[in-house]
Amino acid sequence: MRIIKILFLTICFCNHSYSQKSEIGNWFVYLGNQKINKKWNWHNEVQYRNYNFIGDTNQLLLRTGIGYNLTEDNNVLIGYGFINTQKYLPNSDQKVDTNEHRIYQQFITRQKTGKVFLQHRYRLEERFISNDFQLRLRYLLGINIPINKKTLEKNALYLSSYNEIFMNLEKPLFDRNRLYGALGFVINKNFKIEAGIMAQTLENSNRNQFQIVIFNNLPF
């Protein structure tokens, strides 16, 4: 629990230091992970991100990958992502489209302490944006805590939270930070759903997002 307290104190400091303005949008997220066999898995993901609740598109993100289980709780994965971004021009109602092709490698490790489920995700991204190439590191700490059950089983309500920090391998080093909190429900062994709020802190601004997330066949 000391780690969790340090995490939240750190993010509160980051939000105070970097935030200058705030806007609210909404993300609809699907995260899938299907077993190919005992060792291999297929990751599939769709994120539809809006400036408002729905209809004013900010980003469409499509991501996939092939993972390999080192152990039951440790997985390595390599994948590809396509991201279409529609960004408003300053002081205008017009948008500019940008397409990004992204290759990424990641390592996920999971552990359980009492009723607390922890996940650490380390990710390296190679980003191809128009005529630019960028490298970025990401670290995510995720926490799930069942409310009405002893574990994340069918009909379990649970609290979900994560913090993810993004660091560029060139200046500026700080890219962004995401702090998320939600209430989740386990529908059955294949599906669960979450609804929550994510505070995203960038170098000179922040943006708050509602999130609705559907999970299919996780973990791994």
What separation, in Å, do the N-terminal and C-terminal C-alpha atoms of the chain show? 25
Q: What is the pLDDT of residues 50-64, one digit of tens each?
A: 998 888 999 999 999
Q: What is the pLDDT of residues 142-184, one digit of tens each?
A: 999 999 999 999 999 999 999 999 999 999 999 999 999 999 9
Backbone φ, ψ for residue 201 (5° rounding)? -105, 120
Whole-structure pTM over 0.75, yes or no?
yes
Residue 217's SS3 state is: coil
> Under 8 Å CB-to-CB from 142, ≥6 apart: which residues?
118, 119, 120, 121, 160, 161, 162
- Give the sign of the dihedral formed by CA 146, CA 206, CA 15, CA 178: positive
